[in-house]
Amino acid sequence: ETGVTQSPTHLIKTRGQQVTLRCSSQSGHNTVSWYQQALGQGPQFIFQYYREEENGRGNFPPRFSGLQFPNYSSELNVNALELDDSALYLCASSQPGTVNSPLHFGNGTRLTVT
Amino acid sequence: GNSVTQMEGPVTLSEEAFLTINCTYTATGYPSLFWYVQYPGEGLQLLLKATKADDKGSNKGFEATYRKETTSFHLEKGSVQVSDSAVYFCALEERGAQKLVFGQGTRLTINP
C-alpha cells in the first residue's frame, strides 16, 4: 500500500508568482485535504476535496484553489503569492465511511516566497 | 469556533523521565481527539486518538484520556527515549467532518 506522496519537496517562488503543488493520495482513499503549516505553528485547514468536488474550506482567500482528479490525486494552486504564503503545505488523504478513518499525511512541500 | 490549546514549548527532558504535554480544547458537540507527531523533515503521523469521553488512546508507550469534564486530552509517557524527540500536535475533529483543528505544537527534546 503506497502512502501519500507530495511533489515537489521544496520550492522557491517570487512574490506575485503562481505555484502548483501536487499530491497523490494513499491507495483506496477518495478524499484529499490540504493544510498550511507556518513555521512554528500547527497546520491550518485550507480545503478538502471529495470525488472531485470541494467539500469544505477553511479561512483562506480565493487565490488558494484546488483540483481533484478521477484517480483522486490533487493539486493546490496559489495565485499572486505573498511573503506570508511561505510555509509547509501538507496533503492528507482519507476514506470517509470507514470506521474511525484517520487522515494519512504526506511529508509536505516546503514553499518559500521571496 | 473550535480551538485547541497546547502547553507552551519547548520541553527538554532527560531519557527515562516522565512526560506530560497538556492539551485543552473548545468545541461544540462531541469531537474526536488526536495526538500527532512530526519528526524533522517529515509530515504528521497519527500517534493516538480517542473518539468519546473517558476513552483512553495509547500507542508506543504514550497515553491520553478524553476528559469531557475538563475538556482536556493530556499526553503522557512514563519513560521517554531520545527517539521520542519530535514536535507533538494535539488536534480535534468535529464529528464526521474529517477536518482537523490543531494546536500550535510542542517541541520535545530528550537528552541522553
Please say whether the beta carbons of A91 and A73 come within 8 A.
no
What mean pLDDT do residues A71-99 have?
90
Tell me how far apart the alpha carbons of residues B4 and A42 are, in angstroms, rounded to a whole number: 10
Confidence (pLDDT) at B8: 81
Distance CA A55, CA A78 (A): 18
For residue B100, what are the contacts with CB-CB under 8 A and spacing of at least 6? A35, A43, A45, A103, B34, B91, B92, B93
* pLDDT of A99 over the 60 cut: no
- Residues in chain A with CB shorter than 8 Å from the CB of B34 are 102
Residue B111 has phi, psi (to 5 degrees) of: -95, 140
Q: Is the torsion defined by CA of B27, B28, B33, B37 positive or negative? A: negative
In this complex, do B104 and A40 lie within 8 Å of one another by their Cβ atoms? Answer: yes
Query: CA nearest A88 in B: which residue?
Result: B43
Q: Cell 500517534 maps to which residue?
A: B47
Q: Kindly determine whether residue B103 and residue A44, on different chains, have CB atoms separated by under 8 Å.
A: no
pLDDT per residue over B17-75, tens digit each?
999 999 999 998 889 999 999 998 888 999 999 999 999 999 999 999 999 999 999 99
